[in-house]
Structure 1
Amino acid sequence: MTSARYTVDDVMTKTVVTVTPDTEFKEIAAAMERCKVSAVPVVEGGGRVVGVVSEADLLPKEEFHERGPGMIEDMRRLDDTAKAGSVRAEELMTSPAVTVRPDTLLPQAARLMAALRVKRLPVVDADGGLKGIVSRADLLKVFLRSDDELAAEIRREVVNRLFPASHRDVNVSVTRGVATLTGRVRDPALVPVAARLAQSVEGVVGVDCRIEGPAPA
């Protein structure tokens, strides 16, 4: 028994600004500014993603614009100094690109972003073709689901399935994303399971489970 799980495909942005390997520095910077994004996928024939250029890849050129680094610093920062002299996407990009598939669950995408400290990930199909892009902001969209929608899913996917004989005796309410479950059920051993499943519903912020066992005779 599982509640509906949201995937990257549910929240990703499907219209994506891209560049090609031979796109020049100024064009990349202009595209980022125009579309208000911090990174752009680099694609080649057929839309296959071969890398990503981010603001971090462009900054070395600005940093070293007025002065060249000293020899010791130069040795320590070979990657940055190389990018400072780059003029095309293929020289600037991070490759291979870290990508996700459309069916990746949102928690998996969030963990990957956190581990890599990136703000967005290209979404690709089985052949590496670009399908969209998912950002940190996109992952938060599930928390915009209405309280009524969340309550309906908890009742349908958790209460009705877990307590088929006494589901009518359980009340479910959600306020600002916090779910409250009250009432009595025949099998109190399943109450912790109900709380855990309710918490797993995408968009639920917290759970206050007050379900009790049968009333004393």
Structure 2
Amino acid sequence: MDRTPHTPHTPHIVSDVMTQTVVSVGRDAPFKQIVMTMEQWKVSALPVLEGEGRVVGVVSEADLLPKEEFRDGDPSRMEQLRRPEELARVGAVAAGELMTAPAVCVHAGATLAEAARIMARRRVKRLPVTDAGGLLVGVVSRGDLLKVFLRPDEEIAREVRHEVVEPLFPGADRSVEVRVADGVVTFTGEIRDTALVPVAARMARSVEGVVDVGFDLSRPGVAGRHEPPVAGPLP
């Protein structure tokens, strides 16, 4: 039996998973240097910095492509009306003219869920990470945010037992057990109050590394009969 004292898990924050070695460019970086830097470091976007490291924008492959797209012809009138910002970059030659500003950034102390929401809403793959003073301290990617799903199943199970089973099913309801396989949590055993099932599902899903939650529970019935309140994954 594992008798190691349990320490409540603290949710990971961006600084736990970000890449601290960040490639960036200044406002005056020329077009060709930007392309060469992206190719050398195998990245699709670069933070643009000024001063001591304040992020003022981000230049991405999408910002550079209009120059090639219209290299052999002028944009149509319809394209001029629909894509004025992109077309303004056709004649740009430096990062300050090419970049998207203000930069979409995330604070180092933000949770991974917060960073994921920013990426989804702004449709970006990478975010510059800034400190309280707005200075660049790292970069976080979609892949970095997925690292929580590498947590061992037993570690996830211990946390679910501590954070969900112990507070929700004390005393007689402690017959509820937890299994975790490939990140999928399954609650098994007996439960008296079936109203706690959706509560347990929400709490378990908030544990980092949980892929899904399912139930294989029964409810004590009359004269030893058991009635299954729920089985399988909860919607």
TM-score, length basis structure 2? 0.82
Distance 1:71 1:198 in 2: 54
Distance 2:172 2:14 in 1: 35
Matched, 1:135 2:141: yes
Matched, 1:161 2:167: yes
Q: Greater shift after overlay, 181-190 or 117-126?
A: 181-190
Q: Match of 1:87, as an amino acid?
A: V
CA displacement, residues 22-70 of structure 1 (integer Å, 9 cap, x when unaligned):
1111111111111111111011111110100011101011112222334
Distance 1:75 1:211 in 2: 60
Matched, 1:178 2:191: no
For 2:115, the equivalent position in structure 1 comes to 109
Distance 2:79 2:194 in 1: 65
For 2:12, the equivalent position in structure 1 comes to 6
CA 1:71–1:195 in 2, change beyond 3 Å: closer, same or farther?
Answer: closer
TM-score, length basis structure 1? 0.89
Q: Match of 2:59, as an amino acid?
A: V
For 1:83, the equivalent position in structure 2 comes to 89
Matched, 1:190 2:196: yes
CA 1:82–1:192 in 2, change beyond 3 Å: closer, same or farther?
Answer: closer
Q: Greater shift after overlay, 16-25 or 60-69?
A: 60-69
Matched, 1:67 2:73: yes
For 1:27, the equivalent position in structure 2 comes to 33
What is the Cα deviation at residue 100 of structure 1? 1.1
Q: Greater shift after overlay, 151-160 or 91-100?
A: 151-160
Identity of aligned residues (%): 58
For 1:36, the equivalent position in structure 2 comes to 42
Which of 94, 99, 114 lines up with 1:93 in the alignment? 99
Say how many residue pairs are matched: 216
Distance 1:195 1:59 in 2: 45
What is the Cα deviation at residue 103 of structure 1? 2.1
What is the Cα deviation at residue 195 of structure 1? 2.1
Asked which structure has the greater RCO (Cα within 8 Å, sep 6+), the reply is 1
CA 1:72–1:154 in 2, change beyond 3 Å: closer, same or farther?
Answer: closer
CA 1:69–1:112 in 2, change beyond 3 Å: closer, same or farther?
Answer: same
CA 1:210–1:3 in 2, change beyond 3 Å: closer, same or farther?
Answer: farther
CA displacement, residues 2-24 of structure 1 (integer Å, 9 cap, x when unaligned):
96433222222221111111111
CA displacement, residues 66-119 of structure 1 (integer Å, 9 cap, x when unaligned):
223345544543322321111111010011111111222222222221111111
What is the Cα deviation at residue 206 of structure 1? 0.8
CA 1:195–1:72 in 2, change beyond 3 Å: closer, same or farther?
Answer: closer
The structure richer in helix per residue is: 1
For 2:4, the equivalent position in structure 1 comes to none
For 1:47, the equivalent position in structure 2 comes to 53
Which residues in structure 2 correspond to 1:196-207 (within 5 Å)? Answer: 196-207=202-213
Contact 2:24–2:48 (8 Å) recurs in 1: yes
Distance 1:73 1:168 in 2: 65
Which of 100, 104, 124 lines up with 2:130 in the alignment? 124
Q: Secondary structure at the match of 2:159?
A: helix
